[in-house]
Amino acid sequence: MSIEKTIFGTTKDGREVTAYTLRNIRGMRVKISSLGAAIVSVEMKDFAGERKDIVLGYDKVSDYEENGTFFGAAVGRGANRTEGAGFVLDGTEYHLPKNEGENNLHSGPDSYAFRLWDCVKEEEDSVSFHLDSPDGDQGYPGNFSITVTYTLTDQNELKIHYEGESDQTTIVNMTNHTYFNLNGHNCGSVRRHWIRLQASSFTPVKESGSIPTGEIWPVEGTPMDFTKGKVIGEELASDYHQMRLVKGYDHNFVIDGWDQTLRKIAEVEGEQSGITMKVYTDLPGVQFYTGNFLEGVRGKRNMIYHDNSGFCLETQYYPNAANEESFPSPVLKKGEKYDTTTIYQFGVR
């Protein structure tokens, strides 16, 4: 195991951005930037021994400062969508920035994805980034202190561990927004990837804004059913109304048997590379997104990404959970610890 520290670039206001590359004994490499605590690259060999970078991203710090796609970023304080850009907590109404119509997406234009995190710990197999988010930041109550640790194991596991605490009761829903293409970031569409989700239900969205209706629907008999596994593109062009609303898959799937323990929730395989990925989490939901709005994005080495060039599996509390009492609660009480882990484990068939 080893870690290498390099200068990734500088921000528009002249601050230095650092990148940390983790390596394991199997030759896997993971590069993480202090800007957005973002996963910049994940490199491993495919079944033919060819090295592949299997995450979408950028080459320049300036692109990560914009990053409308949220490539690789640690997203917070509240990931995903909040209806009406606000919520009521303990009788007090809080207002968030409106950055997606009348709603809030990923906590607004000043999401943690665009901030420079402090590296607080480096070890041979891990790196930890820290951020202090003051009371009122993004509209949320409480001084919130958050640390995210990335660990690369010799079993090709990329572990993401979030730890946080607030001096007031608040809302916290952290996630990672990496886009994967298991054939390689420059290898076109993920439509032929095979995927299985341990989710027998999902949260349908309203006619506009991609806000959950508050209901939970079974996936059985619909294109949303991945319980037995299937190719992503098999029903991607379906006229199923829920999919037409968002140009494909961009829904929260409800994890079967959620009990706050770490469990496998997804398996994916790249059809060309043979690279596989298993996802584990202790959170109740996962946003399966098929990169429906990537058309024309210029990424690494001038690669032009297109719709469906990557997919996301964003582990989370359900979208708009701050406004839906029936959903698992994203409330972090004063003095309690926010502590959650997601693992992406890679292999080759």
297-325 pLDDT, tens digit per residue, is: 999 999 999 999 999 999 999 999 999 99
Instruction: Give Cα separations from 215 to 12, 102, 106, 201 (angstroms).
Output: 44, 21, 22, 10
Say whether 153 counts as a known binding-site residue: no
| pLDDT at residue 232 greater than cutoff 90 | yes
Distance CA 89, CA 94 (A): 8
Per-residue pLDDT at 47 exceeds 90: yes
Evaluate whether 147 touches 120 at the Cβ level (below 8 Å). yes
pLDDT beyond 90 at 13: yes
Torsion sign, CA atoms 316, 248, 37, 117: negative
Structure tokens belonging to residue 58: 């950028």
Assess contact for 293 and 312: CB atoms under 8 A: no
- Return the half-sphere exposure (C-beta side, CA atoms, 13 A cut-off) of residue 348: 16
How far apart CA 305 and CA 302 sit, in angstroms, is 9
Q: Which residues pair with 159 in a beta bridge?
A: 151, 343
Three-state DSSP class for 74?
A: strand
Is 320 assigned a ligand-binding role in the annotation? no
Which alpha helices (H) appear in 103-244, and where do they start and end? 241-244
Q: Summarize pLDDT for 188-227 with one digit per residue, the tens.
A: 999 999 999 999 999 999 999 999 999 999 999 999 999 9
Distance CA 270, CA 48 (A): 13
Residues near 141 by beta carbon (within 8 Å), at least 6 away in sequence: 89, 92, 94, 135, 166, 168, 169, 170
- Grade residue 275 by pLDDT with cuts at 50, 70 and 90: very high
Point out which residues pair with 344 in neighbouring strands.
158, 279
pTM: 0.98
pLDDT at 114 over 90: yes
The answer to whether 80 is annotated as binding is yes
Average pLDDT over residues 35-51: 98
Mean pLDDT for 109-127 is 97
Q: Alpha-carbon torsion 179, 185, 189, 193, what sign?
A: negative
CA dihedral of residues 293, 294, 296, 300 (deg, nearest 10): 170
Each residue of 310-336: b (16+ CB within 10 Å) or e?
bbbbbbbbbbbbbbbeebbebbbeeee
Does residue 16 carry a catalytic annotation? no
222 annotated among ligand-binding-site residues: no
Within 33-180, residue ranges assigned H as helices are 61-66
Reduced to 3 states, what is the DSSP secondary structure of residue 205?
strand
Q: Among residues 318, 343, 336, which one has the least CA distance to residue 78?
A: 318
What digits encode the pLDDT tens for the residues 133-188? 999 999 999 999 999 999 999 999 999 999 999 999 999 999 999 999 999 999 99
Q: Is 179 annotated as a binding residue?
A: yes
| Whole-number Cα distances in Å, 21 to 16, 160, 228 | 16, 15, 36
End-to-end CA distance of the chain: 24
CATH of domain 2-348: 2.70.98.10
| Of the candidates 284, 267, 138, 114, the residue with the CA atom closest to the CA atom of residue 212 | 284
Give the pLDDT of residue 126.
98
Known catalytic membership, residue 185: no
Q: What's the DSSP call for residue 80?
A: S
Out of 177, 185, 193, 251, the active site residue is 177
Torsion angle of the four alpha carbons 68, 74, 79, 85, in this order, in degrees rounded to the nearest 10: -60
Q: Identify the active-site residue in 83, 235, 314, 324.
A: 314
1 pLDDT exceeds 90? no
Number of CB atoms found within 10 A of residue 292's CB: 15
